Amino acid sequence: MPRRPVVKKEYTLGERVYLVEITKGLGLTWKHFVFNIKASFRKGPHTVPTCWQYPEDRREIAPIFRGAHMLMLNEKGQELCVGCGMCAKACPAKCITVKRGKRQEGEEDKYAGKTYCSTFEIDMLRCIFCGNCESACPKGALVLGPGYELAEYDMESCIYNKERLLANYNEAKAEGKLKPPQKPVPVDAPPAPKKKPAAKKGAGASAQKAKAPPKAEGKKGEDDAAKGKTEEKPAE
């Protein structure tokens, strides 16, 4: 591949000193500084680009925000997850581990289905928060909640187990930040193939007879002659 020729640009005296460009940059910085100083004295919630005093001042997140995962419960307090593993199959990062267990007698008030997830782990260090697990869940049991404070001091704490996921649900429910369930996407059924009209038996038999080629007369005579020879007995 041919290289492009190097073109040397000749700078003027003002460009070589950089005074003009430095003055322009300082003017833009001073303009934003004065604007933010004036906006900080306004009353009410901040609606301008200013610094948020976190953690005392927290922003409101969007309803479709995808944060920390949580396992959902129904109105009776039963776990909705049946341990089918669809979320683990749909995860592109392969960070979900699910093991299924069978519900025993006397556990009907704890689990909604006949099966449940005996083990549920999510490696938050590998998760990309795409939301495929939430969309793939047939029971709506796994939801990406509003929690965004995910920093930990060790790697083991970044692996969310079942108890941690249920605790996230209880925390979001207590704060009134549960997201509404996703509406199922309507899928139109494919059109049924058109059936060919069945031909009548009489018409089909007559058509087959008509299609059969007629036997040649010469061949018929030869067959009769051969049949006569076989019937003749040799003279004693």
Q: Does residue 38 register a pLDDT over 70? A: yes
Hey, which of 67-71, 184-188, 225-229 has the most confident mean pLDDT? 67-71
Residue 136 lies in a domain: yes
Same domain, 150 and 81: yes
Same domain, 76 and 146: yes
Same domain, 76 and 154: yes
DSSP state of 220: H
163, burial (CB in 10 Å: exposed 0-12, middle 13-18, buried 19+): exposed
Q: Which residues contact 36 (CB under 8 A, 6 or more apart)?
A: 48, 49, 50
Q: Which residues, in sequence order, are bridge partners of residue 120?
A: 98
pLDDT at residue 141 in the model: 93
Residue 211 lies in a domain: no
CATH number for position 171: 3.30.70.3270
pLDDT at residue 84 in the model: 93
pTM of the model: 0.59
Same domain, 171 and 94: yes
Domain total for the chain?
Answer: 2
Domain boundary among 175, 204, 226: 175
Residue 197 lies in a domain: no
pLDDT at residue 224 in the model: 56
The boundaries of the domain holding residue 20 are 13-58
Which range, of 33-37, 49-53, 58-62, 70-74, averages the lowest pLDDT? 49-53
Residue 25 lies in a domain: yes
Residue 229 lies in a domain: no
Q: Does residue 3 register a pLDDT over 50? A: yes
CA dihedral 30, 36, 37, 43 (to 10 degrees): 170
Same domain, 44 and 129: no
Band (158; pLDDT cuts 50, 70, 90): very high
pLDDT at residue 178 in the model: 87
Residue 222 lies in a domain: no
Same domain, 81 and 170: yes
Residues of the chain with pLDDT > 90, as a percent, come to 47
Same domain, 34 and 120: no
Q: Please report the DSSP string for 129-192 in residue order.
A: ---HHHHH-TTS-EEE-S------SSSGGGEE-HHHHHHHHHHHHHHT-PPPPPPPPP-PPPPP
Same domain, 46 and 74: no
CB 60 within 8 A of CB 148: no
Kind and range of the H or E element at 119?
strand 115-123
pLDDT at residue 157 in the model: 93
Same domain, 52 and 74: no
Q: Which two tokens stand for residue 87?
A: 């979320």
Same domain, 46 and 125: no
pLDDT at residue 94 in the model: 95
Same domain, 74 and 54: no
Average pLDDT value for residue range 111-116: 93
pLDDT at residue 97 in the model: 96
Residue 137 lies in a domain: yes
Same domain, 85 and 166: yes
DSSP state of 63: T
Task: Please state the separation of Cα 21 from the chain's center in Å.
Answer: 49
Residue 42 lies in a domain: yes
